[in-house]
Amino acid sequence: MSNHERKYLTGRVTIQVTEEDLQKLEERLANSTCRTMSEYGRKLLLGKPITVLYRNQSFDAFIDEAIALRTEMEQVRKGLSFSKENEIRLILLQDQANKCIYKIFEHVCQNKS
């Protein structure tokens, strides 16, 4: 299919579900890469693969803390006047922290596979 050709969705399928089932569908939709319930439903009905996202909450919390730390370090570096020597030490410390965070991130990504 070229860039100028589009497939238009013209058919309509309506289903009724209980509130409980709707909640389950919405939760599963939220954990997938599908952007709409229609897209999710089409894939389910046609037996197409659905990519599901799994989150590691403890790693997410760690990343949030690391981002906050990096932001705070940048603010300290920019907001306070340091001697040239202390500023260089702070920049090196920030670089070391970034490298450690990146190593942890790589380790987690390798262990997912």
> Which residue ranges make up each domain of the chain?
1-54, 57-112
* pLDDT 10s digits, 5-64: 778 888 898 999 999 999 999 999 998 999 999 999 999 999 999 988 776 777 778 888
- Specify the pLDDT at position 113: 55
* pLDDT 10s digits, 68-94: 887 887 777 777 777 788 778 878 887
Alpha-carbon distance of 103 to 107, in angstroms, equals: 6
Q: Classify 52 as helix, strand or coil.
A: strand
- Specify the pLDDT at position 35: 92
pLDDT at position 110 over 80:
no
pTM of the model: 0.47
